[in-house]
Amino acid sequence: MYLASLLSKIGQIKPVKKILFALRKPPHSGAYVQEMLDIIMTVAAFDQEVSIILLDNAVFQLKKQQQPELANLKATAAIYKALPLFGINDLYTETESLQERGLNVASLEESVIAIPRAKIGDFFKQFDLVLTG
Amino acid sequence: MRFAIQVNASPYQSNTGHSAYRFIKAAVAQGHEVFRVFFYHEGIYHAFKHTTPPDDELNLTPCWSELAKQHNIDLVVCISAAQRRGLLCGDEAQRQGKQGDDLATEFRIGGLGQWIEALIEADRVLVFG
C-alpha cells in the first residue's frame, strides 16, 4: 500500500533520473557489496534508469571461478544475475582497473563494457546522478 | 536548493558522519533545505541512543537529534542495515520476539523506498562515507 502510493506520487511529480552507481569495493567487504546491490535493485524497482560501473577492486565482484560458499560467504556474482529482472542491463568497467589486476572482460561472469580511464570523466557526464559505493 | 544526504560510515570509523553533520548545518544556515538524511551501511551506528563517550568528547548522536528537531529534518535509518547490526526500535524488537529499544530520539527506522524517494525529489544528493 505504502509502496504503491509512494510510486504513484513519484510518478506524478518527477521524471525518471539516469543514475550511475560507481562501485569500488571488492566482494566480501563485510555486507557492503550486498547492501549496495540492495540499493541498486530498489532504485531500479522504482523505475529509474540504472547503470553500474565497476572501478578498482570492484572488478573482482564479477570475477569468474569464485567459490565463496566454501568460506560460508554469499556469491556476489550470483546477485548480478538477478539484475536484468530489475531492468538493469548496463554494466561497465574501466579498462585499466582490469589490466592492473591481470584481468580482461572475458574474466568476468557478465557481459561488461570496458571504458578507458581517459574517457571515464566524459562517461559520467551523461548521468543525472552518480552514487559511489 | 533541496538536499538529500546519505551517511555510510560509523561515528568512530571516520569523520565523514561529522562532516555530513557540519555540511547540513552550513547548508541550512545559508537557506537551503535538507529534508532527509538516510543512514546506511555502518552509518546506522549514529542512531544508537546509548552512545556514552567521555565527557570531553563530542557525542554526535544527540547532535543529530537536536539538528533534526531544530530544522525539521527526517533522519531515516535503513531497517535491513540496522537489523543486521543489532539496532532495533521498540516496535521492531517486539515483532522479532526480542527485548530492547535502542533507537535515539528523532531517528526513525525506514526502508530503502524512503531513500529512493529522496533521491528522486532532491535537487542535490550527497553521499558521505
ipTM confidence score: 0.87
Here the cell at position A84 is 536484468
Contact B60, B17 (CB under 8 A): yes
Please identify which residue in the block is written with the cell numbers 517486539.
B94
Per-domain residue ranges of chain B:
2-128
User: Is A4 a member of any domain?
Assistant: no
Give the pLDDT score at A9. Answer: 58
pLDDT in tens, B19-28: 999 999 999 9
Distance CA(A39)–CA(B81), nearest Å, equals: 11
What residues are paired with B76 via a beta bridge?
B38, B108
Given an 8 Å threshold on Cβ–Cβ distance, is B115 in contact with A39? yes
Q: Does B28 touch chain A (CB under 8 A)?
A: no
Give the pLDDT score at A77. Answer: 87
Given an 8 Å threshold on Cβ–Cβ distance, is A17 in contact with B125? no
Q: How many folded domains does chain A comprise?
A: 1
Q: At what angle do helices B60-71 and B16-29 cross, to 10 degrees?
A: 20
Give the Cα-Cα-Cα angle B89, B94, B99 (nearest 5 degrees).
75
Q: What residues have CB less than 8 Å from A28, skipping those under 6 apart?
A: A68, A73, A76
Q: Does residue A13 register a pLDDT over 80?
A: no
SS3 letters for B48-93? ECCCCCCCCCCCHHHHHHHHHHHHCCEEEEEHHHHHHCCCCCHHHH
User: Is A9 a member of any domain?
Assistant: no
**A9-18, A38-47, A62-71, B73-82: which has the minimum mean pLDDT?**
A9-18
| Average pLDDT of span B87-110 | 93
Could you tell me the fold of the domain covering B2-128? Hypothetical Protein Ychn; Chain: A, (3.40.1260)
Length in residues, chain B: 129
Q: Does residue B59 register a pLDDT over 90?
A: yes
Q: Which domain holds residue A81?
A: 16-132
Out of B112, B121, B127, whose CB is closest to A38? B112
| Chain B residue with minimum CA distance to A16 | B120
Give the pLDDT score at A1. Answer: 47
| Average pLDDT of span B98-107 | 94
Judging contacts by C-beta atoms under 8 Å, the chain A residues touching residue B80 are 35, 38
User: Is A11 a member of any domain?
Assistant: no
Backbone angles phi, psi at B79, to 5 degrees: -65, -40
Please identify which residue in the block is written with the cell numbers 535509518.
B77
User: Is A76 a member of any domain?
Assistant: yes
Calculate what percentage of chain B has a pLDDT beyond 90: 94
* B78: annotated active-site residue: yes
User: Is A26 a member of any domain?
Assistant: yes
Q: Does B74 touch chain A (CB under 8 A)?
A: no
Q: Assign residue A124 the CATH number of its domain.
A: 3.40.1260.10
User: Is A1 a member of any domain?
Assistant: no
B100: pLDDT confidence band, cut at 50, 70 and 90? confident
User: Is A10 a member of any domain?
Assistant: no
Here the cell at position B59 is 557525542
SS3 B73: coil
Residue type present at position B83: Q
Here the cell at position A124 is 559520467
Write the CA distances from A131 to A72, A75, A79, integer angstroms: 29, 23, 19
Q: Does residue A21 register a pLDDT over 60?
A: yes
Here the cell at position B73 is 529534518
Here the cell at position B121 is 525529489
